[in-house]
Structures are given as C-alpha cells and as structure tokens.
Amino acid sequence: MSRRLYELAGADPARRFSPYCWRTVMALAHKGLEFEGVPWRFTDKDVIAFSGQGLVPVLIDGERTIADSWQIALYLDTHYPERPLLDSEQARGTTYAFKFWCEQNVHPALTRIILLDLFANLHDKDKAYFRESREKRFGMTLEQFGADRPAGLVALRKALDSVRQVLVTQAYIGGAQPGYADYILFGAFQWARVMSPARLLEPDDPMYAWRERMLDLYQGLARNALGYPVWA
Amino acid sequence: MSRRLYELAGADPARRFSPYCWRTVMALAHKGLEFEGVPWRFTDKDVIAFSGQGLVPVLIDGERTIADSWQIALYLDTHYPERPLLDSEQARGTTYAFKFWCEQNVHPALTRIILLDLFANLHDKDKAYFRESREKRFGMTLEQFGADRPAGLVALRKALDSVRQVLVTQAYIGGAQPGYADYILFGAFQWARVMSPARLLEPDDPMYAWRERMLDLYQGLARNALGYPVWA
C-alpha cells in the first residue's frame, strides 16, 4: 500500500498507544482512507529520520511525507476535502486552541493516572529513554509522579468540565458528527485505554457515553485495538 | 430604536461591565446592528422579569425577547446570517466548549484579581446583593477572596496558554477575522478593563497584541467604553 503511518507501539507491536497517532488513525478512518500502520518505538529515531524530525505520527502518502498530527489533519483536509476534519476557518482556530488545551490539561492529568502502567507496557529498548526524558520533564522519578492516581483523576474530571457541558446537549464536540476536536480528546482516552486498566469515567458521566460512541466509530476501530477493556 | 440591550452597569450608568453583555455588544457590532443599551443593575430583577429570568444580557429585537448571551449569538446568526458569529457546526460545538472553558478558568482567575475594584465600582443598591451572593459562592469574604492578586495573575496567564499558542500564528482565535470565541474571551478582558486598573498582560505577550486588536474593532467600540486604560 502506498499509504503508511508510523505509529508508536509498546513491547507488543500491536499495542499502539500514542494519543497523537490515534488522532491521525481516527482522521484517516473519518476520510475513509486505508493505510498500513507501521509499529515504531521512541528510540527508532533513525527509522523516521527521512521525515526531518524524530516523532510520530509520520504519514507517507504516495510521494509525500507529513509529520505532526495537526499538520497531517490540515494535509488530509487539503488533499481529501470530502468530509472535512475541520469544517470552517473558525473551527480550525478553536480546534487548534482545543488541541493545546487538551495537551496542557487532559494529557498531564491522564499521565499521572496511567504512567506506571504505561511504563510497564513499553518495549524494553525504550525504557531507559522514557525514564530519563520524563523524569527530567517531571523533576521527579516516574514512581513519584505516578504515586497519586486519585489526584490525577480529580484533575482529569475537573479539566473535562467544559467538554462535558457540551456533550450534555450534543452527541459530539463537532455536533451531530465527530470532528477533529473529538479525535484530539479521544486520542487521549485511547492512549490510556491501550496502556492501562485504570477506570477513568463513571457510567453516568456524559463523557462516558461520548467515549462509547467514539469507540464504536468505523466498525469499532478503536474498541478492537489491543488495550484494556474500560470496564472489567 | 426597536433594538434594545439590557446591560449590567456600575454606579456610573455608563460603566457597563458584564463579560456576558460584552459578548453580545461585540456580536451586534460584528453584525453591523445598531441598538440602544439600557443600564441595568443586579437588583433590578423586576425590570427584566418580562424575559422570564433575572440575568442580563437581555436583547429585545422588534417583537422578540432573547436572554442569555449564547442564545443571543445563535439567534443573531439565525436571523442575520451574514457575517456569521459561528461559521460552521464544528465551530459552534468547539466554541461552546470554549465558552465553558472560559467561564470555568479565565473568569475565576480574573475575579480573584479584580474583585475588590469591581465591588467598589458597583451601584450602592447592588452591594449587599453582590456581597451576599458571592461570599456564599466563594465560601469566604470578598476581602479574603480578593486578597491574593498575584495568585490570580498566575492562574490567568496559565489558563491562557492554549489560546496564546493559537495567537502566535493567527490574528484572532477565529482566524483572520474575529469569531464568537474571540468575543467570549474578550468579554472577560473588557469586564476587567471597565472595572479595574489591574495590569493583566505584558506587552510582549501575544495575548496583549490580540487584546489591542479587539479594542480597535468597530471604531474602537470597546476602547472608548468607560473603563481604565490598560496602561497608565
């Protein structure tokens, strides 16, 4: 196939966990575009050196190489304009803010909850890199950072308040159909689901029903991915 | 004029300070719609009882009465579709989330900074109502809540991170032109500007240049409103 996506994988190559890669996987499904997923690990920098940088997702679409999930979304809307991921100029701007909000609020809260499970599921060759880079970022050991899961859960549920209010009145953040903002936030939940059995949401939370809808999209694409059932 | 907007005012009836009313004022200007602003105070519940609720903004447009700033925005886009405030279904969904985010993060941080100035500028007849309702909400006295301005400033600048990143690459949250998300966030800044001389942003902050652009819109509509110059 001439369309390939480099995706972050754990010890098991089928365990694809990057929240950024999941945005792209859902975006490709949204467009109805098939692709071959290629497992990649943090330390495989040389494997994607051709992309001019060292992070995934990296999409190869025929002759083109695109890195960065946001750039890939823009690229897909430009080259495959049907069923837009971002359906207007304002949608692009507000979703761009939503992306940063998610990365600055939802990701850190989830990290606190899933970090130790995530570390356990990493490929052995990635563990030293991950420990060193994250401990530098957090200013503490992984074990210290991941020690207070309840605090992470409180932070997560609070961070989600603004989205929760939207999902009381509509099925998706994008409206009646999912938009790229949905994929951004869902990518974070799927990241957690693939790496950790931690329960994040209560069934009576509107976020829970939304996550179920997202898991059902595209013939259960995300639900069928290797991970932990959200409910035991 | 057959279009009137009830707007929250301070002791000086020209001091119009509600962040929600400013959203509507900017939205009306965005549409090029003229209106007569009617000063209203918190305790004038009977004056707007005809709207079926007790908060402003309340817009009277010919035969129609619309309360709630978000409902007014939707109403304006339906009845005056040119130059949409929300230019797509996704834009509406993500801006709705943005609204809740702003009210849950930016408003509380600003409140902590401006509360005592705001209280001083209220009409005397509103002061007992305001003190009682807010002290109940905060679980402490106004003076206690407003005592740590630096903490509010830190919270504000942190909350703004996600929007700041967008404004590094584009003029408005909405893109090349302001959209309703811009008016939502600007309403909060204008609320502060009208009631408090507190300095909120540094000139090298991309948010600062954005606020300047917002103040310049529609012949300096917001800049010319009674308030405090942002820079002495």
- What is the pLDDT at residue A208? 96
- What is the pLDDT at residue A146? 94
Q: What percent of chain B has pLDDT over 70?
A: 98
- Per the CB < 8 Å rule, is A87 touching B91? yes
How far is it, in rounded angstroms, from Cα A215 to Cα A211? 6
In the structure, what pLDDT confidence band is assigned to residue B232 with cuts at 50, 70 and 90? very low
Single out the residue in B58, B79, B100 at which a domain terminates: B79
Q: What is the ipTM of this complex?
A: 0.96
User: Would residue B183 count as lying in a domain?
Assistant: yes
pLDDT at B13 over 90: yes
Closest partner CB to A170 (pick from B93, B163, B181): B93
- What is the pLDDT at residue B229? 79
In the structure, what pLDDT confidence band is assigned to residue A1 with cuts at 50, 70 and 90? low
Q: Are A147 and A199 in a shared domain?
A: yes
Under 8 Å between Cβ of B145 and B116: no
Q: Are A73 and A99 in a shared domain?
A: no
- What is the pLDDT at residue A232? 43
**B30: exposed, middle or buried (C-beta count within 10 Å: 0-12, 13-18, 19+)?**
buried
Which token pair is A210? 């939304």
What would the pLDDT profile of A124-169 be if each residue is shown by its tens digit?
Answer: 999 999 999 999 999 999 999 999 999 999 999 999 999 999 999 9
User: Would residue B168 count as lying in a domain?
Assistant: yes
User: Would residue A229 count as lying in a domain?
Assistant: no
Q: Are B48 and B107 in a shared domain?
A: no
H or E element: which one contains A37? strand A36-40
How far is it, in rounded angstroms, from Cα B30 to Cα B26? 6
Q: What is the arithmetic mean of pLDDT over B15-43?
A: 98
Interface of B with A in 180-199 (CB under 8 A): 180-181
Please name the residue of chain A whose CA is at the shortest distance from the CA of residue B180.
A90
User: Would residue A226 count as lying in a domain?
Assistant: no
What would the pLDDT profile of B119-160 be if each residue is shown by its tens digit?
Answer: 999 999 999 999 999 999 999 999 999 999 999 999 999 999
Q: Are B93 and B146 in a shared domain?
A: yes
Q: Are A28 and A111 in a shared domain?
A: no
User: Would residue A230 count as lying in a domain?
Assistant: no
CATH of the domain at A75: 3.40.30.10
pLDDT at A113 over 70: yes
What would the pLDDT profile of A72-108 be if each residue is shown by its tens digit?
Answer: 999 999 999 999 999 999 999 999 999 999 999 999 9
How far is it, in rounded angstroms, from Cα B57 to Cα B66? 8
- What is the pLDDT at residue B36? 98
User: Would residue B229 count as lying in a domain?
Assistant: no
Nearby residues of B20 by Cβ (< 8 Å), 6 or more positions away: B55, B56, B57, B69, B187
Q: Are B135 and B59 in a shared domain?
A: no
Instruction: Residue A177: list chain B partners with CB under 8 A.
Output: 89
In the structure, what pLDDT confidence band is assigned to residue B230 with cuts at 50, 70 and 90? low
Alpha helices in chain A (DSSP H): 19-31, 69-79, 89-101, 107-120, 124-138, 142-145, 149-159, 161-167, 180-195, 206-220
Which token pair is A14? 């089928």
Q: Are B70 and B93 in a shared domain?
A: no
- Per the CB < 8 Å rule, is A93 touching B175? yes
pTM of the predicted structure, to 2 decimals? 0.97
Single out the residue in B79, B112, B146 at which a domain terminates: B79
User: Would residue B24 count as lying in a domain?
Assistant: yes
Q: What is the arithmetic mean of pLDDT over B102-127?
A: 97
User: Left, alpha or beta for A93 (phi > 0: left; psi -120 to 50: alpha)?
Assistant: alpha
Under 8 Å between Cβ of B65 and A142: no
Q: Domain range spanning residue B25?
A: 3-79
What would the pLDDT profile of B73-105 be if each residue is shown by its tens digit?
Answer: 999 999 999 999 999 999 999 999 999 999 999
User: Would residue A133 count as lying in a domain?
Assistant: yes
What would the pLDDT profile of A56-69 be if each residue is shown by its tens digit?
Answer: 999 999 999 999 99
Q: Are B7 and B53 in a shared domain?
A: yes
Residue B27, chain A, CB below 8 Å: the answer is no
Q: Are B68 and B132 in a shared domain?
A: no
Task: State how beta strands B58-61 and B64-67 pair.
Answer: antiparallel
Q: Are A34 and A61 in a shared domain?
A: yes
Q: From the CA atom positions of chain B, what is the Rg in Å? A: 17
How far is it, in rounded angstroms, from Cα B169 to Cα B135? 41
Please tell me the distance in Å from B73's CA to the nearest CA on chain A: 15
Interface of B with A in 88-147 (CB under 8 A): 88-101, 104-105
Instruction: Residue A101: list chain B partners with CB under 8 A.
Output: 101, 162
- Per the CB < 8 Å rule, is A93 touching B166? yes
Q: Are B73 and B102 in a shared domain?
A: no
Instruction: Residue B162: list chain A partners with CB under 8 A.
Output: 97-101, 104-105
Q: Are B31 and B110 in a shared domain?
A: no
CATH of the domain at A93: 1.20.1050.10
Q: Number of structural domains, chain B? A: 2
How far is it, in rounded angstroms, from Cα B14 to Cα B16? 6
